[in-house]
Structure formats: structure tokens, C-alpha cells
């Protein structure tokens, strides 16, 4: 266990082992060991005689025996970075219970099985291999598990992927109906839509990849589901419920339980890099295995280098353009690896063809992967030659990586590796059996000359073999170039066909969206038509004469005496000349609003409240009858209403009488004013 490793774990590590009982029977008791890393100042203050024998930082160790309920409570309170055990099923009776446990853990807490994956080793063997003290009692086993997990030994137990679902939905029911049901529903759906936009903005600000699906309803959204490529702790949104809206966050389930190593094995690899605003990296093994592909818009060079180092030791760094970009050259120097670039920029159709068998999330990842794969193709023959010369007892990948990156000969690398302790006694015996009795008396310089001469002879023989192979391959290259030319032609034809299909698919999607929008408009108009039909089917005791004389007239309601409200009502169900208009709130209107209503030439305006003097004057000047709503018996249906024709005519007659009186009064006042002005002029 190294200081660097454990200091990176800035929160406690829990080690757990069953003390008594059985998780499948009676409530078990657990031996719990908590490793809490000390700060640098606290660690420096510890005397040498109190430091542990094992390698690693000094941590405060707390031991306790707890029930399952208390263990879960401590996990929730302290949020340990890792919970270590020699068997995950000591904490859960079965797979379903284990999934529930993993779901209940804090976002940044990981369950670690330190003894391996599906087939765990004995804890004693793992502890011995890593120099961790071990005893067979439960408390010692819990401590050994905690120390191993702190040293990055073991596998993370997980039932979830790195995808997270964020759901924005209604926080309350829309109810069973009522006079204001439509407005209430619109408000809830509008708030859901508003919160959806806020969540989407936060995901964009965090530069997270996501997909969105929304269910549109009357007035806005009924719900929206975001599928985010991140864990919950990396998402700037949390579970919440406020008023009309709730937000729920849940990780995507795997098909089963997975075991992921805490530290990946670092093989020799080829790295393809596509730099830019989005940096993409692909890691490919020397055997052609694609280990991982990654892209980021936020990580700096150090973060990308760390990501690559976690997945292997780069032997070649490749780019898909010529010359190698400065950013890729920086990565190459950082890894002290060989560089590779194509003779000319790789065409898109060739990159598509080479990466067709592998999944990538975007074009940047595709370009990085194509660069790595083409570098592998270009070195394939060299790798085969090196492998043929490498003795079985040497690591072939190590030899290949050194030959490629340092440009040394295969023989030199093999000899150096043997000198480092990887040679065999048989090699030494071979040297002594050459028949030269004076060999033991030779100086070191003479022995070096002898080795160099043998190496030259081997190289000359190898050169002759390579010359013959080159002649054969020149002929093969000509054949392959002809085949390649034909293959490229076919690929270009297929690429044009794919582009044509893509255009047709986009056009189909556009037409389908237009169709869906038209259907939504048709549904809205159908709802309006239903309301209008219902208006004429009213049957009420106050309208007993409906069936006989049809003494009904439609009344079109306007929420407020404002221009926006008038236009909204006109757009909703239309206001035509001769209609009866009902102002639910007649106060506050000015001359322009009254003029807008007068232009529609209503037959009668019924009002709640008092008109302003300016509005009243305009309506009077335009001969628009106005009457209090209380003078006419109204029956409302949604935003429409009906009234008796006789009541409407009576209200109009009453207004006409009042209008005549008002006109006579105005004329009388005008005559009095003229006489007064005349007298004033004469005096």
C-alpha cells in the first residue's frame, strides 16, 4: 500500500466481516474496521516507534461490532469511499438484496470485494501476497479487507452502468375536473416544462452527454426523461419535489452483477489521438484488441495522460492527419513513444470502413480509433518478425514495444533483456561449447568482439531472408493495390448511397414531425369543436324554452379588458361582428383597447366591474351597446357561455334608451356651453 494511493482516498475505508449470525437467518453482527487517513501534519507528528511495519500511510483505525442496521446508518452518515469485504454476499442474502444494498449506498461509496471477481481467492492468500497482516478472527479479516481496498486491491461490485436517468414529472395530480380545471392543468404542465429547461441548461453547463425524451401535454410537458452519460455524483441535479414538479434521479441497471477491477492491467498499447475542442483518445492492444475509447471537452492534457496511463503503456502514438499535430506530439513526448502518421490525411470513408466493427459515440472517437488501427496495420509485419525472433521465455510485447519506441534492433533488445536477468543457463552453456578451449582466458573486450561478430553473421543471414521476402511482397503489393483501387471505388459508391439514405431519412423525420404537429393541431381543434357542440346541448331548468323556441344566443367570454386577452379569445374561438362579448373584468381599459373591441362590431358587451371613462366614451361613440352582466342570465361552459335572446334584446333596448338620454343630455350641455361662450364674448 503506497502513501500516494491512500491519500487519494480522502474519506474513510470500511472493512466488514460477519462477526456472528447469518445474513440469511437471524440478524447478523458485523466486525467493522474503519481506516481514516491522517493529514500530512498529523502523520508527521506520529513517532517512528508507533509507525506500522507494513508499507503505506498511517491511518487512524477504529474497531467495533455493529448490527446490520447500525452499519447501514454509519455508511449513510460517514459516506466511506469504499466498503471492503471478502465476499459481497456477506452483506446481502441474494442478488436482489445485493442490488437494493448497492442502490442505497451514497453516490461516491463503492462496495469492493478484495478477493477477486466471480471466483474469489481465500483472503489469507490475497493478504499474504500484498504483505498485509492477517489472522482468522473476523476483526482481523475486516482490517485486512480494509487495508487491501485502500491499496486498490480487489474488484468493485456494481449492478449499475455509468448512465443515469433524470426524470422531471408532475408533482401532483391534475385532479378530476371543475370550472378552472384547464387553467390548473396548464399551470402544472407549464411548470414541468420550465423545470425541464432548467435541468437541460444545467446539464449543458456541466458539458454532459445526454438524450432527452419529453411527453407533451396541454399547456406544456407531462414529463421529461434525460438519459445522461454520467454517474449521479457527476450530475449537477438532485432529487427534489417542489409544488407542481418533482425531479427523480436513478442509475441504469445492468443485466446482472458486475465486478470491475479497481486497477486495470497496463499492457503495451497503441494510442490514437484526435485533438481539438473535443479531444478523443483510443487505446488498442498490440494484438489488435480495442481496450477503450474516450472523448472529452473539459479535461486538460494531464487528465488525458492519466486516463491513458490507467489503460496501458503507449508504444506508439498515432494521428489521422499529416503532419502530426503539435498536441499529439506533446502526448508522444510525454509517453516517450514512437509516432505514426499516414502518408496523407485519412479520408472519411476509409476511416468509416476501418472502424465499422467498433462502436464510437462521435466522429472524434472514430478518428482516434482509426488512427490507432491504421498504425497497427502499418506495423503488423514488423510485429510478426519481432515475435518470430523472440525466445518463448521473453515477453514478446515488451520486446516489440522497445524495438518500436527506441528503434533498437531485436537482437540488441533481447540481449539486454537477458543481461537484465532474463537469460537462461542453456544460453551460457552454448557459449562454452563452441570448441574454443581458450574461452575462459579471453578478456572482456575479446568476448564482446566475439558476441558482436556472431550478431553480424545472424543479421547478414537475416538480411538475405528479408531481401527474398521483399521481392515476393513487391509482387503481392501490386496485386493488393489493384484490389484496393477497386475496393475504394466500391466504398465510394456505398458512401454515396449511405449519404442519399441519410438525406431521405432526415426528410422522412421532418415530414413525420410535421405530421405529428398537424395531428396535434387537429386534436386541439377537435376539442374546441366538442366544446362548441356541448354549448348547444345545454339543458337547464332556467332554459326550459330551449327545446321550443331556441331562445338562446352564444356569449364569448374575455378574461380581462386588455388587448392581449381580446386577441387570445379571438384566436381561441373567434369574435365576429354581431357576437355578444362578456368581459369578466372590465376595469383598466383605455381608448386603444376599447377601439380594438369596437372594430370587431359586437352586438352587445356584457361587463363585470366598471368601465373607465375613456373606454366608455369610445364604445359610446362607436355605438357599441354595453350592459352589466347581472342584467342577463348567463350559463357558462369552459370559456363560452349562453344567454336568452330575450335578455340580450332587452339589454340592448335599455342601452339604446340610455344612449338617447345621454345624447340629449350632451346636446343640452353643448347648447348651454355655446350660449355661455356667446354671452362671455358679448360682455
Cis upstream peptide for 10 (omega within 30°): no
Q: What grid cell was written down for 91?
A: 452483506
Can you tell me the distance from the alpha carbon of 402 to that of 395, in angstroms, rounded to the nearest whole number?
11
Say whether both 328 and 382 belong to one domain.
yes
What Cα–Cα distance (Å) separates residue 365 from each residue in 258, 372, 666? Answer: 26, 11, 84
Same domain assignment for residues 579 and 644: yes
Which domain does 34 fall in, by range?
A: 3-153
Taking the model in full, what pTM does it have?
A: 0.39
pLDDT tens by residue, 568-599: 888 877 888 888 999 988 888 888 999 999 99
- Whether residue 90 lies inside any domain: the answer is yes
pLDDT tens, position by position, 524-554: 888 777 766 665 554 443 444 443 455 678 8
Residues 173 and 77 in one domain: no
Model confidence band, residue 273 (pLDDT cutoffs 50, 70, 90): very high
**What is the tens place of the pLDDT at every residue in 342-352?**
999 999 999 99
Position 678 pLDDT exceeds 60? yes
Give the CA distances from residue 62 to residues 48, 350, 420, in Å, rounded to whole numbers and listed in that order.
21, 60, 45
Please state, in angstroms and rounded to a whole number, the distance separating the CA atoms of residues 611 and 388: 101
Domain boundary among 209, 236, 260: 260
Whether 678 is in a domain gets the answer no
CA 607 – CA 629 distance, rounded (Å): 5
The SS3 assignment for 174 reads coil
Position 562 pLDDT exceeds 70 = yes
Helices vs. strands in the chain: H and E counts, helices first: 20, 21
Q: Which residue's C-alpha cell is 510485447?
A: 397
Q: Is residue 523 part of a domain?
A: no
| pLDDT for residue 625 | 93
Same domain, 134 and 210: no
Average pLDDT over residues 162-184: 76
Same-domain pairing of 253 and 298: no
Q: Are residues 144 and 174 in the same domain?
A: no
Average pLDDT, the chain: 81
Q: Which helix (H) or strand (E) holds 293?
A: strand 290-296
What is the structure's pLDDT at 47? 53
Q: How many structural domains are present in the chain? A: 5
What pLDDT score does 158 carry? 87
d(CA 535, CA 642): 7
Amino acid at each position: 500500500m503506497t502513501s500516494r494511493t491512500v491519500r487519494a482516498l480522502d474519506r474513510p475505508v470500511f472493512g466488514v466481516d460477519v462477526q456472528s449470525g447469518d445474513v440469511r437467518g437471524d440478524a447478523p453482527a458485523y466486525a467493522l474496521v474503519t481506516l481514516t487517513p491522517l493529514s500530512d501534519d498529523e502523520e508527521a507528528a506520529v513517532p517512528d516507534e508507533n509507525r506500522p511495519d507494513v508499507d503505506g500511510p498511517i491511518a487512524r483505525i477504529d474497531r467495533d461490532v455493529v448490527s446490520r442496521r447500525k452499519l447501514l446508518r454509519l455508511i449513510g452518515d460517514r459516506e466511506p469511499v469504499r466498503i471492503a469485504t471478502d465476499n459481497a454476499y456477506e452483506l446481502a442474502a441474494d442478488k436482489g438484496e445485493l442490488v437494493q444494498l448497492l442502490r442505497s449506498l451514497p453516490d461516491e461509496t463503492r462496495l469492493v470485494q478484495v478477493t477477486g471477481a466471480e471466483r474469489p481467492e481465500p483472503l489469507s492468500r490475497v493478504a499474504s501476497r500484498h504483505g498485509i497482516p492477517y489472522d482468522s478472527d473476523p476483526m482481523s479479516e475486516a482490517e485486512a479487507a480494509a487495508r487491501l481496498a485502500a491499496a486498490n486491491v480487489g474488484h468493485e461490485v456494481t449492478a449499475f452502468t455509468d448512465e443515469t436517468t433524470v426524470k422531471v414529472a408532475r408533482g401532483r395530480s391534475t385532479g378530476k375536473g371543475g370550472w378552472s380545471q384547464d387553467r390548473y392543468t396548464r399551470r402544472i404542465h407549464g411548470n414541468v416544462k420550465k423545470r425541464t429547461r432548467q435541468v437541460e441548461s444545467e446539464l449543458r453547463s456541466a458539458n454532459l452527454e445526454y438524450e432527452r425524451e419529453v411527453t407533451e401535454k396541454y399547456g406544456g410537458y407531462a414529463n421529461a426523461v434525460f438519459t445522461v452519460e454520467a454517474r449521479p455524483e457527476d450530475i449537477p441535479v438532485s432529487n427534489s419535489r417542489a409544488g407542481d414538479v418533482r425531479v427523480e434521479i436513478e442509475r441504469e441497471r445492468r443485466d446482472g452483477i458486475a465486478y470491475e477491477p479497481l486497477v486495470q492491467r497496463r499492457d503495451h498499447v497503441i494510442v490514437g489521438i484526435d485533438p481539438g475542442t473535443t479531444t478523443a483518445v483510443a487505446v488498442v492492444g498490440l494484438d489488435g484488441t480495442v481496450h477503450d475509447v474516450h472523448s472529452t471537452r473539459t479535461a486538460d492534457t494531464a487528465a488525458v495522460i492519466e486516463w491513458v496511463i490507467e489503460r496501458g503503456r503507449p508504444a506508439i502514438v498515432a494521428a489521422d492527419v499529416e503532419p502530426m499535430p503539435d498536441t499529439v506530439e506533446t502526448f508522444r513526448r510525454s509517453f516517450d513513444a514512437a509516432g505514426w502518421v499516414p502518408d496523407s490525411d485519412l479520408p472519411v470513408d476509409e476511416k468509416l470502413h476501418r472502424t465499422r466493427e467498433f462502436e464510437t459515440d462521435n466522429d472524434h472517437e472514430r478518428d482516434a480509433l482509426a488512427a490507432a488501427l491504421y498504425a497497427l496495420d502499418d506495423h503488423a509485419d514488423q510485429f510478426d518478425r519481432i515475435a518470430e525472433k523472440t525466445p518463448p521465455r521473453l515477453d514478446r510485447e515488451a520486446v516489440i514495444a522497445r524495438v518500436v519506441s527506441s528503434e533498437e534492433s531485436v537482437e540488441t533488445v533481447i540481449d539486454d533483456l537477458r543481461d537484465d536477468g532474463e537469460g537462461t543457463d542453456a544460453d551460457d552453456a552454448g557459449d562454452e561449447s563452441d570448441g574454443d578451449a581458450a574461452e575462459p582466458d579471453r578478456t572482456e573486450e575479446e568476448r564482446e568482439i566475439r558476441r558482436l561478430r556472431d550478431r553480424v553473421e545472424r543479421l547478414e543471414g537475416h538480411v538475405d531472408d528479408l531481401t527474398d521476402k521483399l521481392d515476393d511482397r513487391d509482387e503481392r503489393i501490386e496485386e493488393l493495390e489493384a484490389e484496393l483501387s477497386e475496393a475504394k471505388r466500391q466504398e465510394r459508391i456505398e458512401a454515396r448511397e449511405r449519404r442519399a439514405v441519410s438525406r431521405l431519412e432526415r426528410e422522412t423525420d421532418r415530414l413525420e414531425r410535421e405530421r405529428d404537429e398537424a395531428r396535434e393541431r387537429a386534436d386541439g381543434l377537435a376539442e374546441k369543436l366538442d366544446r362548441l357542440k356541448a354549448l348547444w346541448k345545454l339543458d337547464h331548468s332556467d332554459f326550459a324554452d330551449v327545446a321550443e323556441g331556441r331562445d338562446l344566443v352564444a356569449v364569448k367570454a374575455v378574461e380581462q379588458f386588455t388587448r392581449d386577452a381580446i386577441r387570445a379569445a379571438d384566436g381561441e374561438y373567434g369574435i365576429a361582428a354581431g357576437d355578444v362579448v362578456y368581459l369578466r373584468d372590465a376595469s383598466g381599459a383605455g381608448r386603444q383597447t376599447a377601439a380594438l373591441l369596437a372594430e370587431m362590431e359586437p352586438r352587445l358587451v356584457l361587463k363585470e366591474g366598471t368601465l373607465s371613462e375613456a373606454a366608455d366614451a369610445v364604445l359610446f361613440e362607436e355605438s357599441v351597446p354595453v350592459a352589466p352582466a347581472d342584467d342577463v342570465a348567463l350559463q357558462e361552459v369552459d370559456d363560452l357561455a349562453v344567454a336568452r335572446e330575450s335578455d340580450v334584446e332587452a339589454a340592448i333596448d335599455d342601452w339604446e334608451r340610455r344612449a338617447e338620454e345621454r345624447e340629449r343630455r350632451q346636446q343640452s350641455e353643448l347648447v348651454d356651453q355655446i350660449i355661455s361662450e356667446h354671452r362671455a364674448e358679448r360682455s
